[in-house]
Amino acid sequence: MENVCPSRRRNLRATGVAALLFLSGSLFAQKPAVVPKAFGDDYAGSDMCQMCHEDNFNNVTHNNAHRVLETDPRYGFQGHVCESCHGPGAKHASTGDISFIRFPSKLSAAETDKMCLNCHLNQPTHAGRIQSTHAKNAVSCPSCHKMHVNGGTLLVARKNADVNTLCEGCHANVKAQFEMPFRHKIPENAMKCVDCHNPHGTVRPTMTQTFAASEPGCLSCHGDKRGPFTFEHAPVKFDGCTACHEQHGSANPRMLVRSTVRQVCLECHANMPNAVPGESLAMGVVPPALHNLNSPVYQNCTVCHQKLHGSYADRFLMK
Ligand code: HEC
Ligand code: HEC
Ligand code: HEC
Ligand code: HEC
Ligand code: HEC
Ligand code: HEC
Ligand code: HEC
Ligand code: HEC
Ligand code: HEC
Ligand code: HEC
């Protein structure tokens, strides 16, 4: 496959030079930023790639977000969309020899990520990427984003069902948690994993979305628990929702971490035997003597302490 159509290549190179004249380094904050490229002899141009890779060409240049790289001079790869990821391809194009082309599937995950982050690093959603658990575990960008697709859903899953299927494909144990009796409605696709996680990484552990300090995005939907309350319940404010609730699903009503409400409360509000004499292990205050915990009346704490997430009216969280 020596020298496929050299005259065409010259034309393409001319197009590349023309593209340079239009280059502008200024890109919007939300858009991927690109260092403008000068197309030397080592570049072939997309038309060249099309000759042998018709399907890939059609998929990338039709209903695919990266088609703008082919047409919009601002990104620096006009007429060279393929080479924005695969690198200069003239040698490969003239020989068909795969040792001359960059193939992401044969790179390390970190190298592949770097290739994508050349353009995507400055996006706000990717701020935590390098430190993300996915990056550290060699889950590279193309594990979740398929580049050669005609149509949006594989390039970037947005619909609840598509996102959940993608995530559950690798997180079978989490999928099982959503099959517990009390759970968020992931199986019904009424919500999606990325409502609570950013798969690109966040500043928080377990890549949870941030809404407020010590709060993994729960308040964006459960606004009534947000406060500020006149009388805060300390753990809601300082430990976060997961002090008392499972985030995914639970065998216990209200997705509690213990099987009854009382057990949840008494974990903090009880005097426990302590190795250090004279010191209480209780984290909260101990319920006053009127609480006869052997009496059924006092066993359901939230019958009286109804506003346990915080109250505007009562120090004891009763109204
Ligand atoms: C003359 C035909 C020809 C042209 C032009 C051509 N390729 Fe290829 N390409 C091939 C052949 C043949 C293979 C090997 C296919 C296989 O093994 O199934 C290949 C494989 C590839 C691979 C996979 C590499 C691997 O390691 O398996 C990539 C990526 C690729 N080409 C990108 C490009 C790009 C980008 C261009 C344009 C710059 C281009 N090709 C132009 C013939 C060509
Ligand atoms: C945004 C980055 C990107 C662009 C642009 C891109 N590719 Fe790819 N390409 C990849 C990645 C990543 C893979 C590995 C497989 C995958 O994830 O889809 C790949 C795989 C390939 C393969 C081998 C596997 C296959 O699907 O046959 C060929 C051939 C290929 N690309 C050709 C092209 C051609 C031709 C163009 C231009 C029309 C192009 N690529 C544009 C990222 C890109
Ligand atoms: C040369 C720069 C460049 C490279 C390299 C690049 N991208 Fe892009 N990418 C863009 C541009 C520009 C857009 C379109 C952005 C827009 O429309 O706002 C885009 C769009 C996307 C989108 C769709 C975003 C949306 O909102 O629909 C995804 C997903 C994406 N890129 C992932 C990748 C991955 C994964 C890689 C590496 C395999 C990669 N990109 C490599 C420039 C690049
Ligand atoms: C574990 C799966 C996963 C990995 C790994 C991943 N993404 Fe994403 N990405 C997604 C999902 C899901 C969305 C859609 C998020 C949404 O709709 O809120 C998305 C959205 C995007 C978007 C659209 C704009 C945005 O931020 O919402 C771009 C661009 C993007 N990803 C690029 C990348 C790049 C570049 C990498 C590698 C550095 C990468 N992604 C790694 C799953 C992933
Ligand atoms: C309602 C919010 C929410 C939803 C929806 C959600 N998560 Fe989580 N997830 C969390 C929180 C909060 C944590 C961290 C809990 C902690 O660290 O105490 C977590 C932890 C995790 C962990 C690490 C710990 C573990 O349990 O293995 C994984 C993996 C995970 N989630 C994956 C997923 C996947 C996959 C989906 C979708 C199928 C999903 N999550 C949906 C809130 C959510
Ligand atoms: C290609 C496989 C793969 C896909 C797809 C995938 N993950 Fe992961 N994810 C992993 C691996 C590997 C780890 C690290 C080991 C572990 O914790 O299980 C991980 C870890 C996590 C963690 C734990 C973070 C921590 O710091 O403990 C969360 C949360 C998570 N993924 C969420 C998601 C979400 C949300 C999606 C869908 C957008 C998703 N993952 C898709 C492979 C994947
Ligand atoms: C995307 C919106 C959303 C986010 C984010 C969210 N939730 Fe929910 N949550 C819901 C919806 C909707 C329901 C009601 C589900 C139903 O009808 O079964 C619910 C139900 C609950 C319930 C059970 C209520 C009951 O009556 O049994 C608890 C507890 C809960 N969520 C806690 C949390 C915690 C903790 C977080 C953060 C880790 C969180 N939620 C994040 C939407 C959300
Ligand atoms: C100190 C423990 C504790 C903390 C922290 C906590 N909850 Fe609860 N939550 C409970 C208990 C106990 C119930 C069940 C009350 C009942 O059944 O009477 C409950 C019930 C709920 C319910 C269902 C009933 C209702 O009031 O709407 C939702 C939703 C909920 N919590 C969300 C949250 C969110 C969001 C956070 C974090 C901002 C949070 N919880 C923090 C203990 C807690
Ligand atoms: C994670 C530990 C923790 C859990 C679980 C917990 N609390 Fe608390 N609670 C505290 C702390 C800490 C305070 C603040 C004590 C102080 O101000 O000295 C507090 C304060 C209170 C107060 C107000 C006391 C006052 O004098 O201001 C009441 C009432 C209360 N909790 C009831 C409950 C009930 C009912 C439950 C179960 C639904 C519960 N708590 C679960 C830690 C907890
Ligand atoms: C029948 C109603 C009722 C029930 C049920 C109840 N409490 Fe109370 N609780 C009260 C009243 C009334 C006070 C305020 C006492 C006072 O004025 O000093 C109170 C006060 C408290 C305080 C604050 C003590 C202090 O000194 O600040 C805590 C903690 C507490 N209760 C925990 C619990 C726990 C845990 C349960 C469940 C095991 C529970 N309560 C069940 C009525 C109830």
Averaged over 234-253, what is the pLDDT?
92
Residues 93 and 144 occupy one common structural domain? no
Task: For residue 205, give the amino acid letter.
Answer: P
Q: In the structure, what pLDDT confidence band is assigned to residue 24 with cuts at 50, 70 and 90?
A: very low
- Domain end among 49, 77, 106: 106
Q: In the structure, what pLDDT confidence band is assigned to residue 130 with cuts at 50, 70 and 90?
A: low
Residues 17 and 84 occupy one common structural domain? yes
Q: Does 35 map to a domain? A: yes
Count of the separate structural domains present in the chain: 3
Q: Does 111 map to a domain? A: no
CA distances 35 to 1, 32, 53, 77, 239, Å, are: 33, 10, 27, 10, 44
Q: Does 313 map to a domain? A: no
138 CB-near residues (< 8 Å, 6+ apart): 108, 109, 110
Map tokens 């009382």 to a residue: 262
Q: Does 315 map to a domain? A: no
The whole domain housing 45 covers 6-106
Question: How much is the pLDDT for 57?
Answer: 96
Residues 185 and 130 occupy one common structural domain? yes
CA of 145 to the centre of ligand 3 (A): 10
Round to whole Å and give the CA distance between 252 and 218.
19
Residues 84 and 154 occupy one common structural domain? no
Ligand 3 atom closest to Cα of residue 85? 5
Q: Does 244 map to a domain? A: yes
Which ligand has the shortest distance to the CA of 304?
10
Residues 77 and 10 occupy one common structural domain? yes
CB atoms within 10 A of CB 58: 14
Q: Does 54 map to a domain? A: yes
Q: Does 274 map to a domain? A: yes
Which ligand has the shortest distance to the CA of 140?
4
Q: Does 69 map to a domain? A: yes
Over residues 251-278, the pLDDT tens digits come to 999 999 999 999 999 888 886 554 455 5
List all residues whose CB is within 6 A of at least one atom of ligand 4.
Answer: 113, 116-117, 120, 123, 125, 129, 134, 139, 141, 143-145, 156-158, 163, 194, 199-200
- Domain end among 106, 134, 160: 106
